[in-house]
């Protein structure tokens, strides 16, 4: 893992045009080049170059690929994964041929679906009859027993089925049972009449008629249900039989899209192709070797160090171990750090877990979070295609860490599902909250508040130190010394803390009256005031724009006032903001105490149920609150000290990563 963002190099390469396709494939297979569009090159260089329109429309490739994906989805077949793509197999896409194949498959599926619809409608008719029998709604049914005197029974059966009805011969007799809906009686009557239907007066048979026809109805219903399901399976089978073909088409389309995407960054002279892009320094040799091999050595490769380029143009790549992925996500959600600055992931991890643990300290509840996280992660691992639920992949991974943190802090504070099963390794949090802790390191809520304030000071100073490291790396020495987040800001914050703690130590009566305080603050404020002028002077010396002196004075005064305000109120509010850590922790302990008392009021199962329910409530609600508050403290109190978020993310074009097309 790099403590800083990965060092980058800018590649500029020229290859012969006849080898450019091979180079494209090689670069795609490597997938480490974040291309720079030709229009971002030097205008003089641009004049000698031209871009070429693609021979195939990328949107046509995309549309066709979406069609293939739609058919695969209809057959409940997964879309091929990016790692199945093999650049060696890329061919010129035969769009017309693909279209014919996809159209033919689509048509055969539609025809099956039409049959399935007919089958469904037949099923619905039978279901209606069946439901009325089961719900004893005989008033909607028209059940008859009789004989035919004209025509063929098969013809009448067919016509009856046209009304959604059924006709069944009674075994061993000439009689038939007809079951239709009473609402259709005005059409069924003339029909039966046409076939010379004569009602039977066999009372015994009449009694059995419903049972007999119901048996047939159940059979027909089951048959129709099976038929409809069979068609659904047939649809899947038809798509499955085309799977190899569809996968091949999909892969070729995807590869062509990616190749086309890479080519869109290329510029051309008559015989050569030029391209440029950013590569992590540790991958540079690999890229150079791949280009040389693909171009058979007929290439010119030039590397430019990132230090000679404007920092804001260099894409930022960060490497963190896979295990830190949830924290990397927290950083990414906020923004991208500047190139060459500290990679905040590990610091976020330590800060986030400490904050969470302090707010949600319990071994038992932490264990629950850990188990939920492990089970969720396992479930996603065994079902890689499962869409993210309320507990997404990232949240389940995060829960594992949060659970562990909660357990560690729980052991320190001696809380096991709110019960003091083992002695606290540090101090008993609940006892301190309740105010009956004796002889412990911390005896009351003020002690807890003091701990979280100190914790906040550590976090803020860590942020400041990281900022100073970043400024040194950026060679921004004026900012390092005289900015509100620079050494001067740190010094003023330190003086503020000295005064504050002194005030507390005096029993909230007097501030410390050391003689050095006033001169140091005065000099610091003067330096802060001078910063605007120094900055302007340095800028002019470097050839920057000159302004009227009145503007410079006004700007500097305004900047000074804002900085003073931010230093005095910002640092104070940021520090006090950490009291929420104590607040949440105290609320957690109080809630557990309340549930314990409630459960002790009831005997047996009731008490246990309240205890379990209380724990569940606390885990869900407090866990969520602690997670959100930790995030907030990281984003606002910690990041605001050192994280400018001005970086551009590194997005190479590869088989599995194509986000650079959005740039």
Partner 1 sequence: MSKDPVSVYGFINAKLRAKIGLMRQSRIIEDLLKAASLVEAVSVLRDSPYHALAEAYDQTGDLQQMEYVLLEMEIAMYREVASYLEGKSATFVNHLLGKIEVDNLKNSIRLWYSSIIRGRPIRYRSGYLYKQTILHPIDWTAMVNATGWETLLKALGQSPYEGILKEYTEQDLQKDGLFSLESKLDGFWYEHMLSGIQTLSRQDREVASAIFAVEVDLKNLLTLARYGWYHRMEGSALRTLLLPWGKVAESKETERYIQAPVDDRDPVALINRFAGGLEQDSPFVQRGSIHSEETSVLENLKIEDYLEKRRHALYRKMLSSDPFTIALALSYFFLNKEESSMIKAILNGKYYGYDEAYIRGVIG
- Binding region for partner 1 (CB under 8 A) out of 107-115, 276-284, 334-342, 531-539: 107-115
Closest CA to 254 of 98, 104, 388: 98
What phi, psi does 418 have (nearest 5°)?
Answer: 85, 0
Asked if 200 and 175 count as a contact pair (C-beta separation under 8 A), the reply is yes
What phi, psi does 415 have (nearest 5°)?
Answer: -125, 125
Total residues at the site for partner 1 (CB under 8 A)? Answer: 47
**Is 21 or 184 the residue whose CB approaches partner 1 more closely?**
184
Q: Which of residues 644-663 bind partner 1 (CB under 8 A)?
A: none
Single out the residue of 1, 3, 70, 104 in contact with partner 1 (rule: CB under 8 A): 70
Task: Give residue 655's Cα distance to chain centre.
Answer: 20
Q: Which of residues 178-217 bind partner 1 (CB under 8 A)?
A: 181-187
Q: Is 566 in the site for partner 1 (CB under 8 A)?
A: no
Q: What's the rounded Cα separation, in Å, for the pair 358 and 584?
A: 9
Beta bridge partners of 199: 146
Asked if 467 and 645 count as a contact pair (C-beta separation under 8 A), the reply is no
Smallest distance from partner 1 to CB 334, Å: 20
* Per-residue buried b or exposed e for 165-180, using 16+ beta carbons within 10 Å of the residue's own CB: bbbbebeeeebbbbbb
**Is 115 or 632 the residue whose CB approaches partner 1 more closely?**
115
Whole-number Cα distances in Å, 136 to 141, 159, 165, 206, 549: 10, 26, 17, 17, 97
**Is 72 or 451 the residue whose CB approaches partner 1 more closely?**
72
**Is 116 or 252 the residue whose CB approaches partner 1 more closely?**
116
**Is 162 or 196 the residue whose CB approaches partner 1 more closely?**
162
Smallest distance from partner 1 to CB 63, Å: 7
Binding string, residues 30-69; x marks residues near partner 1 by CB under 8 A: ---------------------------------x--xx-x
Q: Which of residues 109-138 bind partner 1 (CB under 8 A)?
A: 109-110, 112-117, 119-122, 124-125, 127-128, 137
Smallest distance from partner 1 to CB 397, Å: 23
**Is 104 or 565 the residue whose CB approaches partner 1 more closely?**
104
Smallest distance from partner 1 to CB 198, Å: 24
Smallest distance from partner 1 to CB 165, Å: 9
* Inter-axis angle of helices 345-359 and 393-413, nearest 10: 50
Q: Which of residues 139-178 bind partner 1 (CB under 8 A)?
A: 139-140, 162-164
DSSP secondary structure string for all residues of 439-466: SSS--SHHHHHHHHHHHHHHHHHHHHHH
Q: What's the rounded Cα separation, in Å, for the pair 88 and 235?
A: 33
Smallest distance from partner 1 to CB 242, Å: 13
Closest CA to 263 of 602, 25, 614, 552: 25
Whole-number Cα distances in Å, 206 to 145, 199, 545: 6, 10, 106
3-state secondary structure of 390: coil
Smallest distance from partner 1 to CB 208, Å: 25
Q: Which helix (H) or strand (E) holds 386?
A: none
Smallest distance from partner 1 to CB 630, Å: 22
Asked if 622 and 591 count as a contact pair (C-beta separation under 8 A), the reply is yes
**Is 43 or 190 the residue whose CB approaches partner 1 more closely?**
190
Smallest distance from partner 1 to CB 99, Å: 9
Smallest distance from partner 1 to CB 655, Å: 22
* Torsion region of 657: left, alpha or beta (phi above 0 gives left; psi -120 to 50 gives alpha): beta
Q: Which of residues 387-446 bind partner 1 (CB under 8 A)?
A: 387
**Is 140 or 334 the residue whose CB approaches partner 1 more closely?**
140
Smallest distance from partner 1 to CB 110, Å: 6
Sign of torsion, CA 209 214 220 223? negative
What is the rounded end-to-end Cα distance, in angstroms, of the chain?
Answer: 27
**Is 86 or 103 the residue whose CB approaches partner 1 more closely?**
103
* Torsion region of 271: left, alpha or beta (phi above 0 gives left; psi -120 to 50 gives alpha): alpha
Q: What's the rounded Cα separation, in Å, for the pair 467 and 640?
A: 10
Smallest distance from partner 1 to CB 153, Å: 20
Smallest distance from partner 1 to CB 70, Å: 4
Smallest distance from partner 1 to CB 305, Å: 40
3-state secondary structure of 543: coil
**Is 231 or 358 the residue whose CB approaches partner 1 more closely?**
231
Smallest distance from partner 1 to CB 84, Å: 20
**Is 37 or 130 the residue whose CB approaches partner 1 more closely?**
130
Q: Which of residues 214-243 bind partner 1 (CB under 8 A)?
A: 228, 231-232, 235
**Is 383 or 541 the residue whose CB approaches partner 1 more closely?**
383
**Rg for the chain (alpha carbons), in Å?**
38
**Is 84 or 121 the residue whose CB approaches partner 1 more closely?**
121
Q: What's the rounded Cα separation, in Å, for the pair 24 and 314?
A: 22
Asked if 317 and 8 count as a contact pair (C-beta separation under 8 A), the reply is yes
Residues in the chain: 663
**Is 122 or 295 the residue whose CB approaches partner 1 more closely?**
122
Smallest distance from partner 1 to CB 228, Å: 7
**Is 254 or 484 the residue whose CB approaches partner 1 more closely?**
254
**Is 119 or 251 the residue whose CB approaches partner 1 more closely?**
119
**According to the 3-state scheme, what is the secondary structure of 584-604?**
HHHHHHHHHHHHHHHHHCCCH
The residues near 659 (Cβ < 8 Å, ≥ 6 apart) are 651
- Binding region for partner 1 (CB under 8 A) out of 44-52, 103-111, 420-428, 540-548: 103-111
What phi, psi does 143 have (nearest 5°)?
Answer: -105, 125
Whole-number Cα distances in Å, 653 to 120, 184, 257: 47, 66, 11
Chain residues in the site for partner 1 (CB under 8 A) = 63, 66-67, 69-71, 73-74, 76, 102-103, 106-107, 109-110, 112-117, 119-122, 124-125, 127-128, 137, 139-140, 162-164, 181-187, 228, 231-232, 235, 387
């Amino acid at each position: 893992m790099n403590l800083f963002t990965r060092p980058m190099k800018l590649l500029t390469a020229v290859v012969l045009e006849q080898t450019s396709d091979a180079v494209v494939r090689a670069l795609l297979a490597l997938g480490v080049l974040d291309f720079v569009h030709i229009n971002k090159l030097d205008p003089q260089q641009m004049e000698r170059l031209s871009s070429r329109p693609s021979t195939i429309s990328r949107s046509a490739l995309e549309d066709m690929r979406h069609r293939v994906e739609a058919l695969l989805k209809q057959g409940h077949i997964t879309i091929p994964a990016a790692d199945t793509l093999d650049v060696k197999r890329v061919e010129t896409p035969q769009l017309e041929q693909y279209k014919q194949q996809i159209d033919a498959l689509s048509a055969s599926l539609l025809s099956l679906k039409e049959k399935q619809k007919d089958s469904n409608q037949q099923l619905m008719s039978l279901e209606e009859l069946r439901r009325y029998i089961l719900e004893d709604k005989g008033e909607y049914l028209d059940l008859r027993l009789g004989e035919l005197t004209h025509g063929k029974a098969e013809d009448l059966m067919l016509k009856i089925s046209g009304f959604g009805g059924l006709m069944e011969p009674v075994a061993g007799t000439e009689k038939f049972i007809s079951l239709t809906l009473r609402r259709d009686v005005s059409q069924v009557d003339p029909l039966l009449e046409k076939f010379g239907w004569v009602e039977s007066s066999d009372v015994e048979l009449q009694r059995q008629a419903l049972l007999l026809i119901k048996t047939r109805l159940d059979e027909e219903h089951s048959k129709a249900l099976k038929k409809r399901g069979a068609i659904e399976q047939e649809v899947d089978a038809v798509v499955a039989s085309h799977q190899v073909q569809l996968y091949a088409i999909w892969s070729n389309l995807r590869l062509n899209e990616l190749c086309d995407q890479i080519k869109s960054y290329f510029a051309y002279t008559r015989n050569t192709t030029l391209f440029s892009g950013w590569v992590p320094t540790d991958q540079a040799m690999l890229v150079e070797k791949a280009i040389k091999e693909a171009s058979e050595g007929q290439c010119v490769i030039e590397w430019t160090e990132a230090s000679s380029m404007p920092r804001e143009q260099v894409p930022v790549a960060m490497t963190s171990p896979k295990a830190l992925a949830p924290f990397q996500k927290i950083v990414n959600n906020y923004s991208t750090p500047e190139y060459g600055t500290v990679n905040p992931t590990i610091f976020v991890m330590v800060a986030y877990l400490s904050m969470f643990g302090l707010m949600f300290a319990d071994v038992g509840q932490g264990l629950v979070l850990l188990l939920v996280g492990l089970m969720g992660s396992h479930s996603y691992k065994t079902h890689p295609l499962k869409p993210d639920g309320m507990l997404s992949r990232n949240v389940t991974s995060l829960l594992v860490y949060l659970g562990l943190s909660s357990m560690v802090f729980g052991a320190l504070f001696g809380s096991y599902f709110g019960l003091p099963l083992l002695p606290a390794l540090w101090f008993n949090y609940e006892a301190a909250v309740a105010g009956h802790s004796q002889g412990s390191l911390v005896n009351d809520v003020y002690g807890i508040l003091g701990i979280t304030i100190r914790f906040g000071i550590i976090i803020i100073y860590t942020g400041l130190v990281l900022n100073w490291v970043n400024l040194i790396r950026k060679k921004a020495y004026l900012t390092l010394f005289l900015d509100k987040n620079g050494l001067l800001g740190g010094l003023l914050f330190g003086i503020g803390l000295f005064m504050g703690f002194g005030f507390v130590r005096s029993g909230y009566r007097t501030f410390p009256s050391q003689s050095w305080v006033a001169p140091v603050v005065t000099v610091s404020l003067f330096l802060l005031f001078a910063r605007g002028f120094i900055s302007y002077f340095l800028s002019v010396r470097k050839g920057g724009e000159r302004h009227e002196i009145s503007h410079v004075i006004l700007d500097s005064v305004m900047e000074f006032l804002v900085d003073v305000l931010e230093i005095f109120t910002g640092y104070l509010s940021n520090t006090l903001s950490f009291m929420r850590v104590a607040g949440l922790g105290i609320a957690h302990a109080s809630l557990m105490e309340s549930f314990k008392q409630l459960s002790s009021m009831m005997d047996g199962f009731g008490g246990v149920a309240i205890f379990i329910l209380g724990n569940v409530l606390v885990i869900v609600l407090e866990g969520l609150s602690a997670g959100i508050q930790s995030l907030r403290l990281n984003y606002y109190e910690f990041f605001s000290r050192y994280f400018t978020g001005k970086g551009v993310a590194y997005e190479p074009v590869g088989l599995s990563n194509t986000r650079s097309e959005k740039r």
